[in-house]
Amino acid sequence: MNLSLVSEYAGYILQGAGLTIVMAVGSIILGCILGTLLGLMRVSASKPLSFISGAYLQVFRGTPMLLQIMFIFFAIPQIYNMATGNFFNWRPEIAGVIALGMNSGAYIAEIIRSGIQGVDIGQTEAARALGLTHHKTMQLVILPQALRRVIPPLCNEFIVLLKDTSLVSGIGAKELMYRSRSMGVTTYDFVSFLVGAAIVYFCLTFILTQASAWIERRLAVSD
């Protein structure tokens, strides 16, 4: 193992780490938007909305993430071409963010649902007794309390998502894993560059884990 060789190409590797972070942030934003909508649909009194949300969760939680990435990158352009006769192609980074965000949304939806259902039912009853509509009750009473409950698991989801960005290297996104693997091919030294990538992933997840623990302590103190 030759870590001095890794340090020689550190700039190239760290550019990939930067893209990994950008993709993870983009994915978690998309996941939070989708997850919040799906979570609200899950607890909705509307059976069609609840059914649609449940079906979405079953599909994205019941199939491998790598398959979803491949489907969005390869199959969606092909379906579009067959339907319209026009050709388009994704950038792998964009397809990766969309796939990761859609997958994450299925898990965040359950986090949001559990957060909402974890709020004491008396809060809803009191708000309705004061004349608030269901929409206002959810907006002003339930969601602010649920948000405090879901922040820690959302932090954990972001950590998982950061590591899952490595799967996007399979479609050619030049993130950390892709660059480490390509340097291993170029130098015939896979061990050094894979260990280097592992160190970078560990540092990133360690920082996020400590940040998550700090947030949890702050929330506990404010309780």
71-129 confidence digits (pLDDT tens):
999 999 999 999 888 888 899 999 999 999 999 999 999 998 888 887 777 777 787 77
d(CA 204, CA 61): 25
pLDDT digits (tens, 9 = 90+) for 148-207: 788 888 999 999 999 999 999 999 999 999 999 999 898 888 899 999 999 999 999 999
Residue pair 109/57 in contact (Cβ under 8 Å)? The answer is yes
pLDDT digits (tens, 9 = 90+) for 68-78: 999 999 999 99
Residue carrying structure tokens 């398959």: 67
Residue carrying structure tokens 């559990």: 114
Ordered by where they begin, the domains of the chain are: 3-222 (1.10.3720.10)
Residue pair 50/41 in contact (Cβ under 8 Å)? The answer is yes
* Assigned token pair, 18: 């930067």
Who contacts 5 (Cβ-Cβ below 8 Å, separation ≥6)? Answer: 187, 189, 192, 193
d(CA 126, CA 146): 16
pLDDT value of position 53: 94
* Res. 42: pLDDT tops 80: yes
Residue type, 130: L
Q: Give me the chain's average pLDDT, please.
A: 89
pTM above 0.75, yes or no: yes
d(CA 223, CA 136): 24
* Res. 221: pLDDT tops 70: no
The CA-based diameter of the chain, rounded to the nearest angstrom, is 71
Q: How many C-beta atoms lie closer than 10 Å to residue 141's C-beta?
A: 18
d(CA 59, CA 140): 32
* Res. 25: pLDDT tops 90: yes
* Assigned token pair, 2: 């030759």
